[in-house]
Amino acid sequence: MPVDTITQLNKLFELQKKAFQLDPYPSVEVRIERIKRIPPMLKKYRSKIHAALDQDFGGHSDKASDLLEIIGLMDRAEFIAKNVKRWMKPKKKSGNLITLGNAKIYLKSHPKGTIGNMVSWNFPFEIALGPTIDALAAGNRVIIKPSDLGPACGAVLEEMINDTFDRDLVAVVNGDLELAKHFPTLPWDHLIYTGSGHVGKLVMAAASKNLVPVTLELGGKSPVIVHKDAVNNETIKSIASIKSVKRGQMCVTGDYCLVHSSKINEFVEKISAQFKNDFGADNNGAAHTCGIISEKHLMRLHSLIEDAENKGAKVINTGQENKENKRHMPFYVIVNPTREMKVMQEEIFGPILPIISYDTTDEVIQFINEDDHPLGLYIYGNDKPFINKICKNTQSGGVAINVIAIQAGVPSLPFGGIGASGMGMHHGEEGFREFSNQRGYFHKRKGGVYNIVMSPYGQKTDKLINDVAYASLGKQALFALKTLPRNIAALIGF
């Protein structure tokens, strides 16, 4: 057991805790400067990021690496740096002029302290650094735990962070399962975990022993609903293209499609052809996407396919099977699987797309609501009543119309799940608030009825209770008229 990594984590945790006590409210200038270190860091380590992703995934498109793991983070850092000053400003809250007088009431966002970030393997840089940007904007310090399934990415992440930040501000600790089990047991000021629901429950249980607030990004089975007016080449291309991102190993990808029964045969034929066209007869997917993260995960995906075949589903293999020592699994289409099949019980997280027919909008809503709330809900079509009815009668982390997953990449939109797909959110202003302590302030000034409601109680207190609070509207109005001039005078400074 690598005790040294646990010891290293504990020391870093104490180091950051002490550093935060010395600087518990960094200025806006300091926060922006810290955030602005990240884009140059990503550019400097671009080639190493490419190589690490390629190594861990058994092939990874450099273009996908740029788009998904580097450029998006640069945009996010720029957006947050531009807006953090505005988010830091106190928010005025209303008060009752009659009873509270000229009190100053406001909400101010304070840093929480030291944030722990447990990162999943599928987006090792984006998930490590995205919430870190939010946390730095909120004035916090961060310790990142990369997934042990991506050791090359973890090593590069540790190198680039050590090169860019002092360890008492941002640090990376790599380690195995024992470190992962220990990580959520520390008394963090906030903990974020991205990964499976099963592990998310364990993380939350461990964090609860210290009453640590958690943000959980867990995924789920995100449906793609296709109206009969949207079965066309543009829709097919869009669904297949997003499904190919990370070869389906993305929490916000479409997990299955619901297609109108009158169009399902056409849809199956077209999307199967699209996968074949995009990846070719030899399934050379690494040029556009990546490989499956591990042999274990590859075996799990094949077990889903075998289970569906054994239980009678129609399974279409759109490409050549894996080459020796490669994890380039081809895309599979499964037609009308049942709920009893594993492929409809688990989040797929791979190049498998179940397609299920429906006849009515109510059928769609019922099918979605019989499952846990998904991280994303996607609808293709131009029928506004159809779209509105589905959105109003279902719940999900986010929604996208005529596209998939883009809502998760917009810097200004919050990203998060609901129920089994997660809790809490990050990205944009909501991410800033998530990692902040929303501290309420009440500054007593002139006016109000404080002398009446504070002990020792007297006749005026009795009058306030009996002749005002429990009185008719007329008596209440009379009391207001008597006290209002005095409070207005306090408000304007007389």
For strand 256-260 and strand 223-226, is the pairing parallel, antiparallel, or unpaired?
A: parallel
Provide the CATH number for the domain around residue 209.
3.40.605.10
- Collapsing DSSP to helix, strand or coil, 477 comes out as helix
Nearest to 434 by CA among 150, 61, 133: 133
pLDDT at 479: 76
Which uninterrupted H or E stretch holds 429? helix 428-434
Same domain (yes/no): 326, 347? yes
CA atoms within 13 A on the CB side of 441: 13
pLDDT at 319: 84
Active site residue 257: no
Average pLDDT over residues 278-299: 79
Nearest to 49 by CA among 179, 158, 177: 158
Same domain (yes/no): 176, 242? no
In the chain the first and final C-alpha atoms are separated, in Å, by 72
Note the pLDDT tens digit of each residue in 387-410. Answer: 999 999 999 999 999 999 999 999
For residues 488 and 465, give the distance between their C-alpha atoms in angstroms, rounded to a whole number. Answer: 23
Please report which confidence band the pLDDT of residue 1 belongs to, taking 50, 70 and 90 as the band edges: very low
pLDDT at 2: 46
Tell whether 295 is covered by a domain.
yes
For residues 231 and 358, give the distance between their C-alpha atoms in angstroms, rounded to a whole number. Answer: 14
CA angle 357, 276, 345 (to 5 degrees): 40
**Residue 280 pLDDT exceeds 80:** no
Least confident of 54-68, 276-290, 391-405: 276-290
pLDDT at 482: 73
Does residue 187 contact residue 143 with C-beta atoms inside 8 Å?
Answer: no
Same domain (yes/no): 111, 154? yes
Percent of the chain scored above 70 by pLDDT? 95
Tell whether 151 is covered by a domain.
yes
pLDDT at 227: 97
Please report which confidence band the pLDDT of residue 93 belongs to, taking 50, 70 and 90 as the band edges: very high
Residue linked to tokens 């973890």 = 154
Same domain (yes/no): 254, 349? yes
Q: From residue 246, how far is each of 9, 54, 113, 129, 400 by CA, in Å? A: 30, 12, 34, 18, 19
Provide the CATH number for the domain around residue 266.
3.40.309.10
Same domain (yes/no): 252, 214? no
Same domain (yes/no): 146, 254? no
Tell whether 423 is covered by a domain.
no
For residues 158 and 21, give the distance between their C-alpha atoms in angstroms, rounded to a whole number. Answer: 25
Is-cis flag, bond preceding 385, omega within 30? no
The dihedral of CA 281, 282, 283, 284: what is its sign? negative
Catalytic residue among 126, 153, 251, 290: 251
Tell whether 418 is covered by a domain.
no
Residue linked to tokens 């740029």 = 66
Average pLDDT over residues 353-373: 97
pLDDT at 494: 44
Q: How many domains is the chain built from? A: 3
For residues 291 and 278, give the distance between their C-alpha atoms in angstroms, rounded to a whole number. Answer: 15
- 27 Cβ contact list (under 8 Å, min separation 6): none
Least confident of 199-213, 222-236, 385-399, 456-470: 456-470
Same domain (yes/no): 328, 467? no
Percent of the chain scored above 90 by pLDDT? 81
Tell whether 129 is covered by a domain.
yes
Tell whether 469 is covered by a domain.
yes
Average pLDDT over residues 358-386: 97
Tell whether 422 is covered by a domain.
no
For residues 435 and 414, give the distance between their C-alpha atoms in angstroms, rounded to a whole number. Answer: 13
- Collapsing DSSP to helix, strand or coil, 471 comes out as coil
Tell whether 404 is covered by a domain.
yes
pLDDT at 33: 98
Helical H segments across 183-294, by residue range:
197-208, 233-244, 264-279
Does residue 75 contact residue 411 with C-beta atoms inside 8 Å?
Answer: yes
In which order are the strands placed within the sheet that holds 170-172?
170-172, 141-145, 114-118, 190-194, 214-217, 422-423
- Note down the domain range covering 477: 449-492
**Residue 492 pLDDT exceeds 80:** no
Same domain (yes/no): 132, 152? yes
pLDDT at 349: 96
Catalytic residue among 126, 217, 429, 434: 217
pLDDT at 101: 84
Same domain (yes/no): 454, 434? no
Same domain (yes/no): 185, 237? no
**Residue 350 pLDDT exceeds 70:** yes
Note the pLDDT tens digit of each residue in 134-168. Answer: 999 999 999 999 999 999 999 999 999 999 999 99
Nearest to 239 by CA among 228, 223, 263: 223
Nearest to 304 by CA among 351, 257, 249, 342: 342
- 339 Cβ contact list (under 8 Å, min separation 6): 345, 370
**Residue 306 pLDDT exceeds 90:** yes
Same domain (yes/no): 265, 376? yes
Average pLDDT over residues 1-29: 92
CA atoms within 13 A on the CB side of 158: 14
Active site residue 251: yes
Average pLDDT over residues 90-102: 88
**Residue 186 pLDDT exceeds 90:** yes
Does residue 347 contact residue 220 with C-beta atoms inside 8 Å?
Answer: yes
Same domain (yes/no): 96, 234? no
> What mean pLDDT value characterizes the chain?
93
Nearest to 468 by CA among 459, 457, 477: 477
Please report which confidence band the pLDDT of residue 263 belongs to, taking 50, 70 and 90 as the band edges: very high
